[in-house]
A and B are shown apart, each in its own frame.
Chain A
């Protein structure tokens, strides 16, 4: 816990500077104070937590789930077949040059205001880190260990499950950590563009009403969701990679 003290101190200092600057400028509908935002969160707690949070959270979780299934599946396929690797890998990498977020309006047109337009946006931006890190992880397994397993009479299946999968796990978790933070962004942006509920939607609606504090309030919650997801992944990683502590 001690390690986090400098960071916590810095945050407090920044919040204080913000508080005083906002008070002296005194345009609270555009630049609310942190205390004003905190008060707003408390005031709106029921609407935010029971109405809008569930809808955003379900976009994030469904999106992440689909990304993991598709991403890991594609990584395994590319690992098994050189042809699949040559076909997909360059496309996956170059697809990152497309500003995915800018495509979001198209998905809103296709899927309407339903949850799926937002899920697609989330999947598109979380798919990449999961696929690429898992694939790199599968490829990272040691050649010497592979040969040793062969000399013990191991088959392809043994090499996959006993060598490649354990080698890929740390990479997968790194990819997942990036993906959970991106998933919050994906869901929020999807909601800005076309939605009738959700934290992103609420924030944008408050913007039109010039209620600065209420624009920030759902963002506080979104950040909290991101942090909690990240911590969950960290805990899972810790549990399944116990051996890494010993290194």
Chain B
């Protein structure tokens, strides 16, 4: 019964979405206040209906209602409650339902917090949001109904892939989707602005917090996924340039560019057309990312073709959204008047450079991700595009990016003084050189450590450069400390946010460099009582025993990590065998320190009293997770900027006369 209510709510939601897509748009065109006001009410109704459907599916998972095909295929009665709930979005149908639910939440947020938006803009934004909802609801109802019943319910379900039964991955998809869907706000504002024919500082002030929130969620979502891969897959890797990872990375790159170009629109009234285009591209990449993962096109072109209904619907929706918005852009974009001018060497210029590098990077990842599909589809045989390609093309784009990241914030608006800025960065340059030299010496000066030295130099350059900029804002050591303190307290959230995120990038680069450069491993057969040396520590296998979990059996090893005879920590990795579906997983045990992780994995018994063990020392991995958390925190701090709460600058009544 509850499932039928959920299904029914979904059908009703489709009609509400249609109303919300049409009435406010027409109302805005005609200047009809009542029709425009429908948007907010419809957004509330849409949220309640989609929320009810999501609640119904969640309920079915919680009570293990195996008469639903979706629950029977993806859940099991013995699963812990957390994974019953995360099972809701651990499959195609449920994840799409989560997608529209989040979309409805964002729509409701516009209705609720958009009080200071001009009514026309608000009506149009809500209408565009509803168009996206309509597409997704149609897709769910026509091809991917999560509420389909089974005539003969099974006694128990098939279970969730054990690899996914993990706290990190339970929350990974919701954060990712909050990011993807959050970018729909930027998209809706961009389309509304194109229909209105104007983009101004006020518009950018509204768009930026939404984009920033989406970006924070996406950053955290990607971080969670990477962290999960690191501790769950059992060989210490954290980024594989897998198409599924690239699918979330592309919108992140474009979204980062969008955040930076929106600053230029807000502060300097320039780069408007470009910002609109970026908003469209960012959301298009989010859509593409969702579909790449959901349609199975990644696995092979053939699995895509084997379910033509879904595949074709997805393709049609992508073409309609991307094509439609780009056509609108082509028609209305040129009408947007460019504002402030600036020289190439200026704050705006550096933000534009960021944009070009980020966009090129996103396009490059897109090319590499889709290339095998194109070649295969065009009959060119099968090619693999793997990590070596991505590293080869991505790193050269990121090096100038990071170099410029320390310089840009120090340049003044309109026309900057590069020589003066570089003088202020002397300290950063010196410390970068010192970091490189130190890394070179520590690693014994082999040619292959050159890249690591370079990476650490970049990290130091960016970190110190960011500190120099931050200190400059406070007039630190140039004014009395009391004045610096006053300035510190008056510093807007956005300034804090920028300093934190830029510094976090430096920490992240440090972690990436360190963990790729000098990892140490011991892969061998160990008997209980044996000891091996790992990164200056003695690691002893003291015990191996069997354990029983709620829905798995495990073989648990105990390693004691000692330094100079003193016990540092006891680590207990497991090898688990899940019952339903029957699959083995490894549960690593990791001891994290500032300079590196001691990473232990227990494997099979060799039948002669020994066990295959894998012990790794992964240097500076924690830096990456700290970097990602810092990055998210920086976004949140910037979001808390009181200028966002006070609201956007008031729009001028009449359009400004064109500059002569």
On whether the two chains bind one another, the answer is no
B contact residues vs A (CB 8 Å cutoff): none
**Which residues does A use to contact B, with CB under 8 Å?**
none
